[in-house]
Structure 1
Amino acid sequence: FPAKLLLIDDILGSLIYERQELLLEYLKKCKNKDMSIIIISDDLKHLFTISDRILVLYQGKQLATRTTSETTPREIVELIVGTNLKAQVTPVIWAFENYHAAQKQTEELKQTQKVLRQSLREQDSLNRQLFERLRNQVDALDQLNLALQDANRRLVTEREAERKSLARELHDQVIQDLLSYTYQLEEIETRGFSDTNENEMQEIRDGLRNVVSTLRQTCSDLRPPTLDSHGLSAAIPSLVHQWSKISGLKFSLDIDPELGRLPETIELSVFRIIQEGLSNVRKHAQATSVNLTLRRRSNASLLVTLTDDGKGMIAPVNLAVLQEEKHFGLVDISERVSLLGGALQVTSKPRGGTEIKIEIPSPYPTL
């Protein structure tokens, strides 16, 4: 009898790219013959090419089942990572895509090397050149793998740091405040309510309002609600006002009145880029004033310029050195800009200070 079920347990990754394509074509033919196929793989491209449904597992337990035509690679990555924060999900998607693209490129180069070895006597000079190219590509792939591993470690570390910070803030401030007000209310209840308790009750009311305000600020830090409702034109002034209040620095903000709305992913990424840039200024620049401008250019791209009058940076700025020294602020900004297909320019001003200029291309090709 013909087989009714075929199980493929993560073997695609061990095949060269050409054989992967041949196997996928064969599986498509089996699928058209009403054969059931179960594929275990982390290659989203393969899964979305052939599957009808995707099952996400964690430690052997089912997390979710999705119909392939009704989901996206981003949603699947969100389920794998365990969060829907785009600042954390986007680097993982970038890692998946670049790793498999690099794997394909390496396989193609290995095939080229094999052919050249067969004609070594006739094309010895060309073979040596291509072999050197292959070695450079393999070195680049090794560096990419190391960078991906480092990005993954930073992603996990930052996520745990955020959770730890949130837990500490809730425990040390909000929960302790609520417990204190609970004890005060119990004490008043024990003594019995009277007109003399009115001042104490008012203090408790004010304290509870402060707790609510703290929780609102915490929620805003996790996901600024103004950004979803009104876009960058409203969210950035709110961010700048809060930052200036905390840092005590003078601030000049200039937002193009024609800025308009952008897709959610771009708006959130730009917001996080500006947030990280301001954090760098407060921590390292030793500045007294800061200037931020957001402009739409004639080609509809978004131009963001952040300038401070601080001590400046050593030119040219070397992101690899900054990463080795565990200064990830500009590195994170560079990664976010790269994921948006944009350009980043960091310069030190002659009289001191730093200028960060970022250009994000328009997502609308007709503009």
Structure 2
Amino acid sequence: MVSYIDQETDQFRASSAARTSASRLSMSRASPMPLTPGVSKETESYVSPPAPSFSRLLAMNAPEWKQALIGSISALVYGSLQPIYALTIGGMIAAFFVQDHNEMNAIISRYALIFCSLSLVSIAVNLLQHYNFAYMGEHLVRRIRVQVLEKILTFEAAWFDEDTNSSGSLCSRLSDESSLVKTLVADRISLLLQTACGIVIAVTMGLIVAWKLALVMIAVQPCTMICYYAKKIVLSNVSRDLAKAQYESTQIAIEAVYNHRMVTSFGCSSKILQLFEHTQEEPLRKARKKSWVAGITTGLSPCLTFLSWALDFWYGGKLAQSGEISAGDVFKTFFVLVSTGKLIADAGSMTSDLAKGSNAVASVFEVLDRKSISPQNSQ
């Protein structure tokens, strides 16, 4: 009886695997991407096309140069607000060291007015920036979709017989992948302009207020930026890798639920549970390893950050004690350069998302660059 159950269990696993592979093969012909790699030899030998250059995207967006100019100016203004905001916070803290109460009230009122002005300017430039870049992106997406559709209509019939050129894949290129071009242009321009403007203004302010302290903070700034960047990247990669590791066990659970009548009839529940537990061993091992990496990175990030801050305040206190700078200058320089380090780290963490989007739209430009064997002029 036991051997009979084992034989039926093997048949169940074989039939489930055959049905799963058949369903994956059929779905891969109708969907833009196969569920699992290696379904066919064509898929294995397929090499992804190179990502389009940023200059090419800008050239295609040339008719909207007015919106690009307004959006770029707004991005530069918004990038300069962060150092000014940090300088204002440092000045507000320094105002409490003033001995005269009337002078203190006057300084605090002035800085409060600056905060209100920064909020109004921030709202205005954000509206201009996002509206103009969205206008650019929508027109670019429309232009690319029209060109891709015109190009597809000129291809030979054999091109549509390939698995990668199914109807679902082509519709995905026209709808989903083409829309990613908008984020590549708008997000990349705003990110570059905001970060560059913020760095230049912050470094200039720091050197003007207290150049000795600014040089020390700039020297240790890469440690803070690396910590922020590594923390964001590691935590985002951990969740993605764990999801991939759980794929095999998820497939077994899906097959067991789908064939629950057969499992119950032949008493294979214990066998299915053993298979499920066996597939959980590899994800568990990877989870332990990833947890150590994530824990060390997450703990090392604030550790190095606090050590750099301790060095900044210690050296700033030495300069203030010797009379070279005031206590207010220490706070101003500290807040300006520390906020800039966070800005650079945030920009660095977004570059990976932009790179993924650039690789995704590569298939769209592959269609545009392909030459048809028998081209036809679209009417």
TM range (shorter): under 0.3
More contact order relative to length (CA 8 Å, sep ≥ 6): 2
Whichever structure has more strand as a proportion of its residues is: 1
Whichever structure has more helix as a proportion of its residues is: 2
TM-score (norm 2): 0.27
